[in-house]
Structures are given as C-alpha cells and as structure tokens.
Amino acid sequence: MDIVKATPEDCRAIAELALMAGEGIPSYFWQQSKREGQTTIEYGAEKAGSESQNFSFRNAHLAMMDDRVAGMLLGYRLPDAEQDEDLSSYPAFIRPLIELERCVPGSYYINMLATYPRYRNQGIGSALMARVDGLAREAGCRLASIEVFEQNTGAVRLYERLGYRPVERRAAVPHESYPYTGQVVLLTREIDNE
C-alpha cells in the first residue's frame, strides 16, 4: 500500500469517500447545491477540485492498493482563534459539530477518514492516521482533532487505540441525513515533536 497526496484527477474518488465518511452530511448539502442535471457525486467532485476551501484535493491523502484508491484522509489546520460567527445561519444539526471545532483552534482537524468497503479491515485507516503527525507538523499544529458520533463504535475504538482521547461532547441534533442520536465526541491527541 502506498499513501499519496491527492491530485485534481482524484476528485471523484474524494467525493465518493466523503459521502462514506460524512455520515450523510455532505450528501445533504450537495443535494441542495448541485445544478439541475448534475449528480451528487459530480457536484462533490467539483467541490473537491476547488483549491480555495478546506474540502479540497489539496487537503486529501489517498491510500493506494494495486494502483486503485482504497481510502482517504482529509485534514487541515483549523483557524487559530475562535470565530465569532453567528451559528444561527447554519442548520441546527450542524451547529454541534461547528461548536466542537471551535474548542480546538489551531489544531490539525481530521475532517474525513474513509475506505471503500472492499478494502476495509486491512489496516488502511490506521495507515492513513499514521500520517497525521507529519501532516500536523507541516501545518504547524501541536494537536490533532477529530469528531465522531459516539454510536460509531468502530471509529471510536480505532481513534482511542491510536491515542486520541475524548475532550468534549455535544448532543447530536437528530436529522434525516444521518442515523445517529446521542453525542458527538471531540477527540484529540498531542503531536509528537520529532
């Protein structure tokens, strides 16, 4: 397995994996924003091709097996200072996620981690997560952060096994786009200074 930085040619795979990682959230927003006649995947790939936003190929790293994309990690540095932006303009189900991001300004935020179903349980998620320290150091971060719904027990176990610890929680706002209730958990891990 090789892990490579994504290129614009990888945008469709990034969009597909984002739909898997995003627990229904990207699909909700992409459905609302896509042009008439455009599929959700086409719109997501178009967004991933942008260089001016966080959801971009430039922030994605791909696990490759047999010259095929097997998985993705998409992460970036969060702004250094808390933003005073009014959250009332966001849908209620997104607000807890944004509130948690604001708890860890300047951290390397792991926005998405996903593997295609046929490549699961082969260590790809762990291999991608092993790159986080280097990516975080490149971004000047001393802390890595990730959010997960507590009911996604497989992901919670993976992150805790990798040294991430829960630091904050928010109640998930039930929504048709994802199957979860309960809590959204913010986990963090200090970055090694190698």
User: Considering the entire predicted model, what is its pTM?
Assistant: 0.94
Percent of residues, the chain, with pLDDT higher than 90: 86
121-142 pLDDT, tens digit per residue, is: 999 999 999 999 999 999 999 9
Environment class of 173 (CB within 10 Å of its CB; exposed 0-12, middle 13-18, buried 19+): middle
pLDDT tier, 55 (very low <50, low <70, confident <90, very high otherwise): very high
Structural domain for 25, as ranges:
2-190
pLDDT of residue 14: 98
Environment class of 37 (CB within 10 Å of its CB; exposed 0-12, middle 13-18, buried 19+): exposed
Residue 34, pLDDT > 80, answer: yes
Place of tokens 């963090």: 188
Question: What CATH number is given to the structural domain containing 143?
Answer: 3.40.630.30
Q: Which helix (H) or strand (E) holds 95?
A: helix 95-101
Give the chain's domain count: 1
Residue 87, pLDDT > 90, answer: no
